[in-house]
Amino acid sequence: MQDLNEFIIIHPAASTSAVPQPVVAVPEGTFYTVLEEDQKSDFKWNVNSTKMLIDAYKKYRNKVGTFEVRTMKQMWLIIAKYLSELLKTQISDSNCQNRWRVLDRNYKKYVDNQKSTGRGKKYFDYAEEMDGLFEKNKAVYPEIVLSNDRIHIPDTSDLENELQIENENIENSPGPGSPGINHLQTDSPAVEKTKKCNTKKRIVKRKNTVLESIRHERWEYQQRRLQIEQEKLELLKQRNELIKERNNILKEHV
């Protein structure tokens, strides 16, 4: 009788270890990029960092349109990098821009409150810095400076930027049926469209008012220059008459 062991097949013990999963290649730097974005979005503004933002805006805003800073978008990228280096943290350009929009909006509300009567005066933490930035014109209407030899016409790009920001705020606002929005506080699409149109009309009207003021000041400037030139011509005529009389007197005594 043959040994039964010849017919018994002994299989090796199955491995209890997990089957290795295929390794997915992760692009280099992906993990750190996510961390950096989280840090950027979590940045909290305080009084010191906000004042640094105002100083940076004052430093770079007038350079927009030059070779160094071509666009507003590039300006915010530069400011974000500048503040990130100073504060030793990561701040995104959108974080800086959103913070500035809040500052600008609250400052204008503060200015309107200061001009109004019958209301309790409000306090704005950064009033002094913003007053220095806008040179006491409260950023409502730009100041037109008239001198003897030149006229300064302010840039109206801030008004255009404000129109763009207002449109973005309306377009990004929650619409009807959005979760977490009370149906009693939700406007219909027609009302939203009307609000958007009214916003455009209001800011375009403000811009037209500024442009009309610029035209009027320019016309007055030209009239003043014309008057000065006429006075110069009169003085030259008088001078020539005096020279002519002097020459005639000299001829009589020769």
pLDDT tens, N- to C-terminus, the chain (254 residues)? 455 555 555 555 544 444 444 443 434 433 333 333 334 456 889 999 999 999 999 889 888 888 888 899 999 999 999 999 999 999 999 999 999 999 988 888 888 877 765 556 777 888 888 888 876 554 443 444 444 444 444 545 555 555 555 555 555 554 544 444 444 445 677 777 787 787 778 887 888 888 888 888 888 888 888 889 999 999 999 999 999 888 988 888 87
Within a domain: residue 156?
Answer: yes
Ordered DSSP codes for the chain? ---GGGT---PPPPP-SPPPPPPPPPPTTHHHHHHHHHHHHT----HHHHHHHHHHHHHHGGGBTSSSB-SHHHHHHHHHHHHHHHHTS---HHHHHHHHHHHHHHHHHHHHHHH-SSSPPP--TTHHHHHHHHTTSTTTS---EE-SS-EE----HHHHHHHHHHHHHHHHS--TT-TT--GGGPPPHHHHHHHHHHHHHHHHHHHHHHHHHHHHHHHHHHHHHHHHHHHHHHHHHHHHHHHHHHHHHHHHH-
Pull the structure tokens for residue 138: 């409260």
Within a domain: residue 220?
Answer: yes
Domain residue limits at 230: 141-172+189-244
pLDDT given at position 237:
92
Within a domain: residue 236?
Answer: yes
pLDDT given at position 111:
81
Within a domain: residue 123?
Answer: no
Within a domain: residue 89?
Answer: no
Q: Torsions phi, psi of 164, nearest 5?
A: -65, -40
The set of residues, in sequence order, having a beta carbon less than 8 Å from that of 173 and lying 6+ positions away, is: 192
Taking alpha carbons only, the member of 141, 153, 146, 142 closest to residue 220 is: 146
Within a domain: residue 33?
Answer: no
What is the total count of domains within the chain? Answer: 1
pLDDT given at position 25:
43
Taking alpha carbons only, the member of 68, 91, 73, 72 closest to residue 81 is: 91
Q: What are the Cα distances from residue 190, in Å, to 105, 187, 197?
A: 26, 8, 11
Within a domain: residue 92?
Answer: no
- Give the bridge partners for 145, in sequence order: 152
pLDDT given at position 36:
39
Within a domain: residue 55?
Answer: no
